[in-house]
Chain A
Amino acid sequence: MIKGTCWVADDYVMAYDIIIQEYWTSAIDATENSKWVMAGVKEEFNKENAFKDQGYTFIVAAHNFAGGGKSIEHVITGLMGAGIQAVFATSFARLQFRNAINYGLPFVTCDSISEGCDTGDELEYDPESGMIRNLTKGTQFQSVPAAPFVAEVGEAGGLMNYIREKIAKSEAIE
């Protein structure tokens, strides 16, 4: 069970606004990337550690979260470094959805949630059942459960660990 406050996006959140162009060539590193994460999304986040210092645990968004077609993993490490433990959205852009799976950060698809939360609400997420509770408002939302492979990678702590273990044990990858 994960519990904490959420930030609710009020428009499309594009990958190139989560990590702005100046930082695309920086190292992929959670601490570094989190300093300027979300800098292009809102003026108020365009200060060092501005988003991170809010201490959010969740992001709630509508369609095509992290869209616009950037494949850089800085987006995911930036969010993780800022303390984000799950993102709930109506839909996700595929490149970052894939990266999130590879890093074991839950990108959780949930149809109705974007209408039902305000920034600062306290949420509780149960990865097992996929249930998201809004404790502030006393409402709840059922999300789409993760595919077995995704859950397995998540449990291993990401694709790198998952594959490293398979290689060490000479197990087939299939």
Chain B
Amino acid sequence: MGMTITEKIMARNSGREKVVPGQLVWTDVHTVMTMDYLGKTCFDKFRSLGKTEVFDKNRVICVSDHLVPPPNQKFATMLNEWRAVVKQHDITNFYDLGRQGIAHQIMVEQGHVLPGKISIGTDSHANTYGAVGAMGNAIGVTDAAVAMATGKAWFRIPQSVKFNITGTWQPWVMAKDLSLHIMGMMHWNGHLLYKALEFTGPAIKSLSMAGRMTLCNMTVDLGAKNGIIAPDVITERYLRNRTSDAWDMLASDEDATYDQVYDIDISDLGPTIALPGKLDDTVPIDKLIGTKFNKAFVGTCTNGRLEDFAAMAEIMKGKQVHRDVNMILVPASQTVYLEALRAGYIETLVEAGAAVDTPSCAACAGIHTGVAGDGDIVLSAGNRNMTGRMGSRKAEIYLTSPSVVAASSIRGEITDPRTFDI
């Protein structure tokens, strides 16, 4: 009996020939990521295990993303403590303000996650790493502390679920729409809890790394253990200049066992929106055409990448953001920011009346840079729309793709980019 890619990664990194779903194993971890507001606790816990040096100071990746630039004194002080503890442990890869980005973007774009390896992070969207064929897994600070000390983490081998994606993408339809479509189709009803979600098929083969990251990113919001796309030429091309480490081009065996297989033809898939409150409450855009909103937000580990800025710039070029809308755009990293600047996207977007802010998680977790207040209706390309997520519990958040946010921000109401005059 063959194995799925996730099973192969777990087997290889636990020194086994074979693993089966349900089995508990300790595996080697390629990299451990932690970030500003939880990082100090990780290091404190790590030292309480009786260690002073991390298992490999090149493979503990530290990022400032949630709190930077600090919006208040409390966070400024937390950041100072964070910097001190990273320095104390002589960590090689520290992405602090100036070199920062959202941790998950940094992990992938800086080559810290690799095909066939396991990387963990103290933030839920570590599932993003599956985009390059890695096993990316979110863990708590306890697991991070243990991994910093030992280079290992415990895992239960998940059952795998395959999503075979066929058809061709309609113009302006993005990986985010597929993600939200699957969210609506599977619900938060437990079907995908603990599962490894594998995305395959022609429509995935043609998907850029940015799209793959979006898709894997949101698997955590489906309750899954990980999301993964087998590495291919797109992966190799993407990683070639980002790392000098070796990787493993693994793929699922033909006769691997899946708990479920779903076939989705995306030819008919249009822009999809999650209604405020619950992620699985998704509808096709037609149901919401004309809905007014007053804040637009694009950024986050889900949709703050160069391709997202390119799509928005193309839609918004020569136009003006509607006077009733405040639009905030936040690139996912300094690298993305610079590339978007060089490509002229930032110029186009600023000319159109969008505010562009320094890379960070921004308002996504309701911490800073455009948090939501009472009565706000936000059209967001982020990943979470629950009550209070972006600040006020009296604000509403619709989730959608960057191209929908762009077209809608011009009109001041929810607009289908496919029918928008570009």
Contact = CB atoms under 8 A, between A and B. Distances in A.
Given A67-B223, A94-B225, A167 B139 contact: no
Interface residues of B, number: 52
B223 A64 contact: yes
B149 A163 contact: yes
Nearest to B15: A174
A28 interface: yes
A173 B389 contact: no
A83 to B, nearest CB: 21
Residue among B142, B149, B388 with the most chain A CB within 10 A?
Answer: B142
A68 interface: yes
Interface in B66-83: 66-67, 75, 78
A16 B141 contact: no
Contact of A71 (B37, B138, B365, B366): B138
Interface string B273-291: 0000001000000000000
A64 B365 contact: no
B193 A91 contact: yes
A14 B279 CA distance: 12
Contacts of A95: 124, 138-140, 220
Interface string B41-56: 1000100111100000
B29 to A, nearest CB: 12
B26 A40 contact: no
Interface of B: 24, 26, 37-38, 41, 45, 48-51, 66-67, 75, 78, 122-125, 138-143, 145-146, 149-150, 152, 154, 156, 188-190, 193-194, 220-221, 223-225, 279, 365-367, 384, 386-389, 391, 393
25 contacts: A25-B37, A25-B67, A25-B75, A28-B41, A67-B193, A68-B386, A69-B124, A69-B221, A71-B123, A72-B140, A94-B224, A95-B124, A95-B139, A99-B142, A147-B156, A149-B154, A158-B142, A160-B45, A160-B48, A163-B150, A164-B48, A167-B49, A167-B50, A168-B50, A173-B150
Interface of A: 12, 14, 16-17, 20-21, 24-25, 27-28, 40, 63-64, 67-73, 90-95, 98-99, 102-103, 147, 149, 158-160, 163-164, 167-168, 173-174
Q: Which 3 A-B pairs rank lowest in CB-CB distance, beginning with the nearest?
A: A102-B142, A73-B140, A63-B190
